[in-house]
């Protein structure tokens, strides 16, 4: 039997990915020396949950946890991002992803899952989760963008207001959330959409993945397209009997929260891991934050930004 192995591009994690070719068949080796329980065991369990619910995801072929790796099925090398970036009319294709989110949200989860000797429990999103994530904005983005200025006071002021905003979320944390649902994490297979990078899945707010897709910082969508996709989700989800304002409220809050987190993560990737490519997304991330902060629920937060962190200064910032 002939074997060939080749390293392939990875994601923002510490994992490494290799395509293994055995004769005419291929599989993926996932290597994770750091956080290997989450990146190998939890990842395998989440993938199994998806497959059991008829959502195409990598299947576990071999578990070599002692050697810091697993072998999983190969979903190919073409992502939805590679496909959609070339399309002028994106609405019909994006609707497929909205339907996929709705399918994820219909998953009925158990309290505990097992993989061999390991037990995996999906945690619930809490206000602590939300703050821990948005804190990345202050601890990384601000720390590296404000010269000779202490950020601790700014962080404290903003955190107080963000806490008030997070308390205004309408929907309970009772829904399966992929937590990183965007076009680069959806693979195009033979008439199937495959979901990858699912190890961060959690039980949370139903609007989180919707905001992650529609306000994806990696691909620019027009306001009209974003609004059409949100309306499509509303009309086709199990929340269609709710007032649309309730969903829009949570969408805007979670979009701002997520994109503040992303600003921090992308600067961290640049400074800590020397992955400078992520900095090109900063200006559009700010634009998305501004777009959602037109909601009156952010009036006081807008005042804080105007006083301490004028958005015009940061909007064009691509190098930190």
Domain ranges (residues) in the chain: 3-73, 80-315
Whole-number pLDDT of residue 314: 67
3-73: which CATH topology? Answer: Phosphorylase Kinase; domain 1 (3.30.200)
pLDDT value at residue 210: 98
Q: What pLDDT is recorded for position 151?
A: 85
What CATH architecture applies to the domain 80-315? Alpha-Beta Complex (3.90)
Across all residues in the chain, what is the average pLDDT?
93
- Please write down the HEC assignment for all residues of 101-127: HHHHHCCCCCCCEEECCEEECCCECCH
How is 55-95 classified by DSSP, letter by letter?
---PPEEEEEGGGTEEEEE---S-BHHHHHTT-S--HHHHH
With b for 16 or more beta-carbon neighbours within 10 A and e for fewer, the 131-154 pattern comes to eebbbbbbebbbbebeeeeebeeb
118-120/69-73 β-pairing: unpaired
What is the DSSP secondary structure assignment for residue 76, as one 8-state letter? -
pTM reported for the whole predicted model: 0.93
Distance CA 48, CA 202 (A): 15
What is residue 18's three-state secondary structure?
strand
Q: What is the pLDDT of residues 57-107, one digit of tens each?
A: 999 999 999 999 999 999 999 999 999 988 888 999 999 999 999 999 999
pLDDT tens for 162-184 read 999 999 999 999 999 999 999 99
- Specify the pLDDT at position 183: 95
Each residue's pLDDT tens digit, 34-47: 899 999 999 999 99
Tokens (6 digits) for 212:
């992650």
Cβ(262)–Cβ(287) below 8 Å: no
- Kindly state the tokens that stand for 221: 């969508």
1-36 pLDDT, tens digit per residue, is 678 899 987 766 778 999 999 888 999 999 998 899
User: What angle do helix axes 152-166 and 244-273 make, rounded to 10 degrees?
Assistant: 150
pLDDT of residue 54 exceeding 60: yes
The secondary element (H helix, E strand) that includes residue 68 is none
């Amino acid at each position: 039997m002939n074997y060939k192995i080749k390293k392939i591009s990875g994601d923002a994690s510490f994992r490494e990915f290799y395509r293994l070719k055995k004769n005419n068949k291929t599989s993926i080796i996932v290597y994770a020396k750091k956080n290997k329980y989450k990146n190998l065991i939890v990842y395998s369990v989440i993938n199994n949950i998806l497959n059991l619910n008829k959502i195409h995801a990598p299947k576990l072929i071999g578990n070599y946890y002692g050697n810091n790796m697993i072998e999983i099925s190969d979903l190919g090398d073409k992502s939805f991002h590679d496909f959609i970036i070339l399309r002028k009319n994106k609405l019909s294709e994006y609707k497929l992803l909205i339907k996929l989110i709705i399918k994820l949200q219909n998953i009925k989860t158990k309290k505990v899952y097992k993989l061999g000797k390991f037990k995996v429990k999906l945690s619930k999103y809490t206000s602590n989760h939300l703050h821990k994530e948005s804190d990345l904005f202050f601890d990384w983005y601000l720390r590296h963008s404000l010269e000779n200025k202490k950020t601790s006071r700014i962080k404290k002021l903003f955190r107080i207001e963000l806490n008030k905003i997070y308390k205004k979320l309408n929907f309970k944390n009772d829904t399966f959330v992929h937590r990183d649902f965007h076009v680069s994490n959806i693979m195009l297979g033979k008439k199937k959409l495959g979901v990858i990078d699912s190890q961060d899945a959690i039980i949370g707010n139903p609007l989180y993945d919707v905001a992650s897709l529609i306000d994806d910082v990696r691909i620019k969508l027009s306001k009209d397209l974003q609004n059409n996709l949100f309306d499509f989700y509303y009309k086709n989800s199990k929340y269609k009997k709710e007032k649309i304002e309730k969903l829009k409220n949570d969408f805007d809050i979670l979009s701002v929260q997520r994109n503040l987190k992303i600003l921090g993560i992308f600067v961290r990737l640049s400074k800590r891991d020397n992955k400078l490519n992520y900095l090109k997304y900063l200006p559009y991330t700010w634009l998305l934050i501004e777009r959602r902060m037109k909601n009156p629920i952010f009036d006081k937060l807008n005042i804080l930004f105007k006083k301490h962190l004028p958005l015009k200064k940061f909007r064009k910032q691509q190098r930190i």
